[in-house]
A and B are shown apart, each in its own frame.
Chain A
Amino acid sequence: MKTCRMKAVLALLLLLVPTLAAPVFSNAASAAATAADTFSDPAMEARARNLQRQFRCLVCAGENVDESGSPFSADVRRLIREQIAAGQSDAQVQDFLVARYGDVILMKPPVQPDTWLLWLAPFLVLGAGGAVAWVVVKKAAARSA
Chain B
Amino acid sequence: MTGELGQLALCFALALSLVMAVAGLIGTRTEANTARRVASSSALGFLVFIVLAFAALTYAFVTSDFSVALVAGHSHTLKPLVYKISGVWGNHEGSMLLWVLVLALYAGMVAFLQRGGERLTSGALGVQGLLAAAFILFILFTSNPFLRLDPAPFEGAGLTPLLQDPGLAMHPPMLYAGYVGLSASFSYAAAALLVGEAGWARAARPFMLIAWIALTCGIALGSWWAYYELGWGGFWGWDPVENASLMPWLIATALLHSALATEKSGAFRTWTLLLAIAGFSMSLIGTFLVRSGVLSSVHAFASDPARGFFIMVLIALAIGGALALFAWRAPSLQGGAAFEPASRETALLLNNVFLVAACACVFAGTLYPLILDALNGTKITVGPPYYVITFAPIFFALMLLVPFGPQLGWKRGDLKAAWRSLYPALGLAAIAAIVVLAIVAPRTIAATGAFAVAAWLIGASIIDVRKRKGARASAFAAALAHAGLGITLMGVAGTTAWRSEAITVAAPGQSFTVGPYTLRFDGVSRVKGPNYIADRAHIAVMNDGKPGAVLQPEHRLYPAEGQDMSDTAIRTTGLRDLYLALGDERDDGRFALRAYVSPLAPLIWIGGLIMALGGMLSLWGRLRAPAREPVAPAVAQAAE
Q: Which residues of A contact B (CB under 8 A)?
A: 1, 4-24, 26-31, 33-36, 54, 56, 59, 61-64, 67, 102-110, 114-115, 117-119, 121-123, 125-126, 129-130, 132-133, 136-141, 143-144
Contact = CB atoms under 8 A, between A and B. Distances in A.
Interface string B365-404: 1001100100010111111111001110010000000000
A122 B390 contact: yes
B381 A109 contact: yes
30 contacts: A13-B241, A15-B168, A17-B222, A18-B226, A18-B242, A18-B245, A20-B239, A21-B383, A22-B226, A28-B564, A29-B583, A30-B566, A31-B503, A31-B594, A54-B385, A59-B298, A67-B232, A103-B378, A106-B381, A109-B369, A121-B360, A122-B391, A123-B390, A130-B353, A133-B353, A140-B340, A141-B341, A143-B337, A144-B338, A144-B411
B299 A62 contact: no
Contacts of B563: 1, 4-5, 8, 28
B244 interface: yes
A119 B364 CA distance: 8
A24 B230 contact: yes
Given A34-B592, A125-B360, A16 B350 contact: no
Contact-residue bracket for chain B: 35 or more
Given A18-B222, A19-B226, A30 B162 contact: no
The 5 closest A-B pairs by CB, nearest first: A30-B583, A107-B383, A21-B237, A31-B592, A20-B237
Nearest to B159: A11
Nearest to B563: A4
A102 B245 CA distance: 29
A137 B95 CA distance: 44
A142 to B, nearest CB: 8
Interface string B617-635: 0000000000000000000
A118 B237 contact: no
B565 A16 contact: no
Contacts of B296: 9-10, 13, 61
Contacts of B301: 10, 13
Contact of B503 (A22, A34, A102): A34
A17 B232 contact: no
B299 A10 contact: yes
A143 B336 contact: yes
Contact of B357 (A106, A115, A122, A144): A122
A19 B160 contact: no
B349 A133 contact: yes
B209 to A, nearest CB: 21
Contacts of A11: 90-91, 159-160, 162-163
Most buried by B among A11, A16, A20: A16
B501 to A, nearest CB: 10
Given A4-B561, A107-B385, A27 B162 contact: yes
Interface string B280-300: 000000110011010110110
B173 to A, nearest CB: 11
B230 A144 contact: no
A64 B503 CA distance: 16
B345 interface: yes
A111 B163 CA distance: 38
Given A18-B241, A30-B583, A121-B368, 16 more contacts: A11-B159, A14-B92, A17-B171, A23-B230, A23-B231, A27-B566, A28-B563, A29-B583, A30-B584, A59-B298, A106-B383, A117-B368, A118-B386, A141-B341, A143-B337, A144-B338
Contacts of B89: 15
B394 A122 contact: yes
A140 B267 contact: yes
Nearest to A126: B357
Given A13-B295, A17-B171, A30 B594 contact: yes
Contact of A129 (B162, B340, B353, B372): B353
Contacts of A27: 162, 230-231, 565-566
